[in-house]
């Protein structure tokens, strides 16, 4: 299956799985998806993930979702930069999500990182998504 927005597909799968109270969700594997999941795990939004071999020799990522008091930890997950409209931000204009209660995930020249890390590293980049 050919996807025009693989990261948006992963975020939608996470959103749908949380609406159905699933503990895990499967998504096709890629380096960008794994890097975004690393940031989500570091920030405490998911329990973890593991790369598995799927059917046809393709890799799949099994994501373990996190819940607190029977409610998902990720309340809102939104794709910002899309294939039809890329959104870039310098370090001085990095967006704050809900006055610092959420995070933005950026793709920078130093790798995929949260907005907090980007401010510490003094780099800007493409704003991939926002999580609250």
Bridge-based pairing of strands 67-68 and 71-72 is: antiparallel
* pTM for this entry: 0.93
Q: What is the pLDDT of residues 109-126, one digit of tens each?
A: 999 999 999 999 999 999
Q: Supply the pLDDT for residue 100.
A: 85
Distances in Å between the alpha carbon of 93 and those of 97, 115, 123, 126, 127? 12, 11, 11, 12, 11
Q: List domains and CATH numbers for the chain.
A: 6-131 (3.30.1490.10)
In terms of C-beta distances under 8 Å and separation of at least 24 residues, what long-range contacts does 20-27 make, across chains too? 21/67, 21/70, 22/65, 23/64, 23/65, 24/62, 24/63, 24/64, 24/65, 25/62, 25/63, 25/65, 26/54, 26/60, 26/61, 26/62, 26/63, 27/60, 27/61, 27/63
More confident residue, 1 or 41: 41
pLDDT tens digits for 2-58? 579 999 999 999 999 999 999 999 999 999 999 999 999 999 999 999 999 988 889
């Amino acid at each position: 299956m050919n996807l025009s927005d693989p990261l948006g597909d992963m975020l939608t799968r996470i959103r749908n799985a949380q609406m159905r109270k699933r503990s895990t969700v499967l998504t096709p594997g890629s380096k960008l998806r794994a890097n975004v999941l690393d940031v989500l795990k570091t920030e405490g939004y998911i329990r973890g993930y593991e790369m598995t071999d799927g059917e046809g020799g393709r890799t799949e990522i099994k994501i373990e979702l996190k819940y607190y008091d029977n409610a998902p930890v990720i309340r809102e997950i939104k794709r910002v930069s899309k294939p039809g409209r890329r959104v870039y931000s310098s370090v001085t204009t990095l967006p704050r999500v809900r006055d610092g209660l959420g995070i933005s995930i950026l793709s920078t020249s130093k790798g995929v990182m949260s907005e907090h890390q980007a401010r510490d590293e003094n780099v800007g980049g493409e704003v991939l998504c926002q999580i609250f």
